[in-house]
């Protein structure tokens, strides 16, 4: 019986201790790298050619809005008219506080009182100096989805 080499003994001991872990130093040069999983399409639940569902249209009142937790994260949805929706990142550009849902034609940040136009996200009153970041959304049947 041949004497085991020092490497064989060490690798055998390590394999016994950390069996689930791949021991690259113990593998031969003919090993192939692990298969790469297929890339995600990121479009789960996208029936009908729409994007990621965010909310039911009926859940966003005309002339108002709501904050939903959708595929891209939190999205502030506003619905200026029956057949028009807009989306914004609800993170205030001033210091990162989440803004409130629209009240009438404005969106207010509870952090330091900035006010934004609910129709287009433009800043109307500081301290924020820029408006809310738009998020592309659209109506798809009875739902609001990412565009
Ligand atoms: S974080 Fe919104 S006004 Fe300061």
Average pLDDT of the chain, as a whole number:
75
The verdict on the CB of residue 108 being under 6 Å from ligand 1 is no
d(CA 86, CA 114) in angstroms, rounded, equals 20
Structure tokens at 133: 């970041």
Check if 128 has its Cβ closer than 6 Å to any atom of ligand 1: yes
Report how far ligand 1's centroid is from the alpha carbon of 122 (Å).
Answer: 14
Tally the residues of the chain.
147
Q: What's the CATH code, domain 49-146? A: 2.102.10.10
* β-bridge partners, 51: none
Q: What pLDDT does residue 49 have?
A: 58
Contact 120, 78 (CB under 8 A): no
Domain map (residue ranges) of the chain: 1-30, 49-146
Distance 94 CA to ligand 1 centre (A): 5
Residues 6 or more apart whose Cβ sits within 8 Å of residue 38: none
The tens digit of pLDDT for each residue in 49-78 reads 568 999 999 999 998 999 999 777 899 999
Instruction: Look at residue 63 and give its three-state secondary structure.
Output: coil
């Amino acid at each position: 019986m041949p004497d085991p080499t020092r490497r064989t003994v060490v690798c055998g001991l390590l394999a016994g201790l950390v069996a689930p872990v791949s021991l690259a130093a113990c593998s031969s040069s003919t090993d192939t790298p692990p298969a790469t999983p297929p890339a995600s399409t990121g479009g789960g639940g996208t029936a009908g050619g729409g994007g990621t569902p965010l909310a039911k249209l009926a859940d966003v009142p005309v002339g108002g809005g709501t904050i939903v937790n959708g595929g891209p994260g939190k999205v502030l949805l506003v619905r200026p008219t029956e057949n028009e929706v807009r989306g914004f990142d609800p993170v205030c550009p001033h210091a990162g506080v989440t803004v409130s849902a629209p009240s009438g034609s404005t969106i207010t940040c509870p952090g330091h009182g900035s006010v934004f136009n609910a129709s287009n996200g433009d800043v109307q009153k500081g301290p924020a100096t820029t408006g809310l970041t738009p998020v592309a959304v659209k109506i798809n049947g009875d739902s609001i989805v990412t565009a």
